[in-house]
Structure 1
């Protein structure tokens, strides 16, 4: 009898799920030594061949990936003003000493960890102008992204023609509330944020959701990396849909939990092209004056697949959610 991985597409999906388990495991254990044999077991790959498989799939070795993630997470923690010392952050991301951390950090980012922390306000101001290229925007016509398979589609996600005025960014009300954790099925895309994300929803996620009767469930778009820190071709994005406890993922999808807790939540309603401005307003203007700061849980956009886009006005509605904690 044929198995679920008898076809090339199913086999590749299985490889993707296993590699994703390793990526998630590494992120959860950056402060501990990572052994190849242990990671191979997480992926259920041969210990002898795992290193070669990982490098071929990811375009970098396990060691290079872990080192990059440790430095990216350290840079994020320094920027967030976590209150820890540079040594605390070094040890918390798996470096054996402050000296080793400082050398590796300067080699990657061109400055010392202390200088990076001190330069955060200026760096954020410079980055705000380019926020439209960052992870937070899905852009484009969500009726086409999550529409019916037989529905003809026009412009692809991120291919907005620029004719829409930026609306909604400055009129949003922000609530700081507790959100519950949610169980989701997700498919992951690795590559540059932007137009490819919308195409991923339309061509990959939406057909899978429809085939499993999930089109009425809430959706989440989760950018796991900051493209200011992470090379564009290494950025991870999860297209997620809420599933019940009894749901068993299959095919390309895997199951995960989005963490609950305190979030700043702003309801966005406007032309899709304006959502980047909305994220910029929240992160540049609202957050610094709120008495709060981001923590290390992921930011996301939450929306309903069926009603996110008003076909008459072209307006897109979603909740922009930023995980926060006290300064």
Structure 2
């Protein structure tokens, strides 16, 4: 029974990966049931029973999530192109669907996104993905590295995590203006609080870009800093890198006590190696660093 269930989940996972990889392509019921190697007469009910939403709804949400990321973070791409990539025949149809879901037009969202309705809208998609995307880690997934110190420019986010998207927008705009592309200058997040503190106002994370250039301190927006060098336990995470809390908990709960190591006095942080929507969501990669004495 266990092997059969695992095989069933692998086939369903194959469908989710196929959707991620082919958001611009043909994702009708016949095509997706073929990917899973299930009968098309039953697949839609199997999918709904497994994920809690229909195939059509899942594909709609996945396309809309990519579209919203492109609107917020990729200003070189026009709204019309984004609408077509999301599966709409005309920008007007896309705008109506977007406003219905998020309470903003695409152009308004691009200028000043309201992230709370956005987070609520994608709750069903995130819940569906998490049903089969629970990652399990082992001691073999963790390596210990001697990490060199990295000079960074820092944009701090302090306060409600629901507004983090606005800080990310400002960070991306600043690094574009400064010519610090992710392919040439590494991207880090340094967490200075829990992911879900008792008070949202206590949430704290630093958005960082590595650079050897002199950093002009820009009021409260940009600060110069350093990620210190030293030994680190490193855990690589592939897919669904929006939430690295399960990986962090594994390091603290399982790996650290069993390793005999001791954590150093610097927060846990990550380096983001590839990003959604530049790559399909299941191919996004991040490495989590736990500093050690």
Once the two structures are TM-superposed, the CA of residue 297 in structure 1 deviates from its matched residue by: 0.6
What are structure 1's unaligned runs of at least 5 residues? 1-139
1:189 aligns with 2:157: yes
1:215 aligns with 2:181: yes
**What CA deviation, in whole Å up to 9, does each residue of 1:2-59 have, x standing for no partner?**
xxxxxxxxxxxxxxxxxxxxxxxxxxxxxxxxxxxxxxxxxxxxxxxxxxxxxxxxxx
CA distance in 2 between counterparts of 1:146 and 1:292 reads: 41
1:317 aligns with 2:271: no
Equivalence for 1:149: 75
CA distance in 1 between counterparts of 2:133 and 2:242 reads: 7
Equivalence for 1:296: 265
| Of 222, 240, 251, the match for 1:253 | 222
Equivalence for 2:47: none
Equivalent residue runs for 1:192-271 within 5 Å: 192-193=160-161, 195-201=162-168, 203-216=169-182, 217-226=185-194, 231-250=199-218, 252-271=221-240
Equivalence for 1:163: 128
Once the two structures are TM-superposed, the CA of residue 283 in structure 1 deviates from its matched residue by: 1.6
What are structure 2's unaligned runs of at least 5 residues? 1-64, 83-97, 103-114
Once the two structures are TM-superposed, the CA of residue 145 in structure 1 deviates from its matched residue by: 9.6
Residues 262 and 168 (structure 1), Cα distance of their counterparts in 2 relative to 1, 3 Å cut: same
CA distance in 2 between counterparts of 1:255 and 1:230 reads: 29
Q: How many residues align?
A: 182
Is 2:188–2:207's contact at 8 Å kept on the other side of the alignment?
A: yes
**What CA deviation, in whole Å up to 9, does each residue of 1:174-216 have, x standing for no partner?**
11111111111111111134x4324421x21111111111123
CA distance in 2 between counterparts of 1:190 and 1:274 reads: 18
TM-score, structure 1 normalization = 0.48
SS in 1 for 2:289: strand
TM-score, structure 2 normalization = 0.53
Equivalence for 1:280: 249
Name the Cα RMSD after superposition.
Answer: 3.3
| Of 117, 138, 144, the match for 1:176 | 144
CA distance in 2 between counterparts of 1:144 and 1:228 reads: 26
Once the two structures are TM-superposed, the CA of residue 287 in structure 1 deviates from its matched residue by: 1.4
Equivalence for 1:48: none
Is 1:174–1:264's contact at 8 Å kept on the other side of the alignment?
A: yes
Is 1:167–1:271's contact at 8 Å kept on the other side of the alignment?
A: no
Is 1:179–1:260's contact at 8 Å kept on the other side of the alignment?
A: yes
Is 1:168–1:270's contact at 8 Å kept on the other side of the alignment?
A: no
CA distance in 2 between counterparts of 1:207 and 1:301 reads: 21
Residues 257 and 286 (structure 1), Cα distance of their counterparts in 2 relative to 1, 3 Å cut: same
Residues 243 and 265 (structure 1), Cα distance of their counterparts in 2 relative to 1, 3 Å cut: same
Once the two structures are TM-superposed, the CA of residue 282 in structure 1 deviates from its matched residue by: 1.8
Once the two structures are TM-superposed, the CA of residue 274 in structure 1 deviates from its matched residue by: 5.7
